[in-house]
Amino acid sequence: MAKNTVRNGLRATTDGMVLFGLSVVETFVGAMALTLVSLSITVLGLFVIAPTFAIAAGVANVARRRAGRHGDPIAVPYRPVPSGSRLDAARTVLCDPARWRDLLWLVVDPIVGAFLALLPVSLVLYGVYGLVVEPFVWHWINGAGGNDWYTFVHVRSAGTALVALPVAATLLVLGVCTAPAVLRLHARWTHALLGPRRPVALVRPVSLPA
Over residues 17-65, the pLDDT tens digits come to 999 999 999 999 999 888 888 876 666 667 788 888 899 999 999 999 9
Distance separating alpha carbons of residues 113 and 26, to the nearest angstrom: 11
Q: Which percentage of the chain shows pLDDT scores above 90? A: 46
User: For the whole model, what pTM was predicted?
Assistant: 0.82
Distance separating alpha carbons of residues 189 and 70, to the nearest angstrom: 11
Of the candidates 209, 15, 197, 199, the one whose C-alpha atom is nearest the C-alpha of residue 96 is 197
Over residues 110-130, the pLDDT tens digits come to 999 999 999 999 999 999 888
Query: Which range, of 22-26, 79-83, 123-127, 134-138, averages the lowest pLDDT?
Result: 134-138
User: What residue ranges in the chain does DSSP mark as E strands?
Assistant: 149-150, 153-154
pLDDT of 143 reads 66
